[in-house]
Amino acid sequence: MNWAYGWEFIGDNKMVLDYGCFDGKFINALTESKPVQVFGADKNKDIVNSTNQDNIVHIQKALPFKDGYFDVVTMFEVLEHVHDQRYVLTEIRRVLKDGGLLIMSVPQKHVFSFLDYGNWKYIFPKVHRYWYTKRHSASEYHYRYVDNPNGLIGDVDKEKAWHQHFETGEFSDLLKSCGFEIKDLDGYGMFALPLELIKMSLKISLPNWLARWEMTTFHHVKILCVARKIS
């Protein structure tokens, strides 16, 4: 759903950056479907190295691109992991051309936000450590969650240590304060988290039509946004 939303707003022959690209699946899919030049950037050096792609760069703080280099920056399911959100958004604004687009998705705060199992490791750290160590190893747990050289706890900035859910007004105000004008704001889903927990606990597959109906009927689980850089 996020990729389809982004694809809709990315024109041909554009310079695109996918911020928080992880293993590069989106940028690879985009280059296969549109005549664009795409770069990726991610804080997880282990993942960046594993992609073995020259167009994906490891970042620690600043982006290694000149001012106004990109027409579009995409950022799907990333901002909620970031501690210094204003810095990241300001840096993205710097590398965008005037009038360039920032296309984003973030979790929206709603009635089922407490079921986000990505946060359970912070709520129940001892339980998480036990099961992760049992499934993997104590050394891997220490590397990923205690002393990670990328400054992460799992996939979240160490200083943040929480998978954030945004209220729409809070999210809009943040973008505006960082020099962006919202062009389009949408959302999808309502019961995704409880359905996912049902699937996990019962080890069953739910019909595709149910997932499609859930995503298109409701608008509360994810915020989808296109914002324009303003001078």
Phi, psi of 91 (to 5 degrees): -70, -40
Give the whole-angstrom CA distance, residue 161 versus residue 180.
Answer: 26
pLDDT of residue 14: 97
Residue 207: what pLDDT? 83
Count of CB atoms within 10 A of residue 204's CB?
Answer: 8
* Res. 135 pLDDT band, cuts 50 70 90: very high
Superfamily of domain 2-111+163-189+218-229: Vaccinia Virus protein VP39 (3.40.50.150)
Spatial separation of the C-alpha atoms in residues 45 and 40, rounded to whole Å: 12
Q: Is the pLDDT of residue 227 over 80?
A: yes
How many CA atoms within 13 Å lie on the side-chain side of 159? 4
Residue with the larger pLDDT of the pair 114 and 35: 35
CA nearest to 13, candidates 32, 37, 40: 37
d(CA 21, CA 79): 12
**What's the pLDDT score for residue 71?**
98
Q: What is the pLDDT of residue 163?
A: 93
- What's the confidence (pLDDT) of residue 122? 92
Answer whether 53's CB lies under 8 Å from 40's CB.
yes
Render pLDDT for 204-213 as a digit per residue (tens, 0 to 9). Answer: 887 888 878 7
Q: Which amino acid is at 79?
A: L
Q: What would the two tokens of residue 29 be?
A: 């899919």
Average pLDDT of the chain? 93
Q: What pLDDT, on the 0 to 100 scale, is given for residue 198? A: 79
3 pLDDT band, cuts 50/70/90, is confident
**pLDDT value of residue 11:** 94
pLDDT confidence of residue 40: 98
What is the DSSP-derived secondary structure letter of residue 16?
Answer: E
Residue 168 binned pLDDT confidence (cut-offs 50, 70, 90): very high
Q: How far apart are CA 186 and CA 223, in angstroms?
A: 6
Each residue's pLDDT tens digit, 196-206: 877 888 788 87
High-pLDDT (> 70) share of the chain, %: 100
H or E element in which residue 208 lies: helix 208-217
pLDDT confidence band for 66 (50 / 70 / 90): very high
Report the pLDDT averaged over residues 106-128. 92
Residue listed under structure tokens 């298109």: 216
Q: Considering just the CA atoms, what is the radius of gyration of the chain in Å?
A: 18
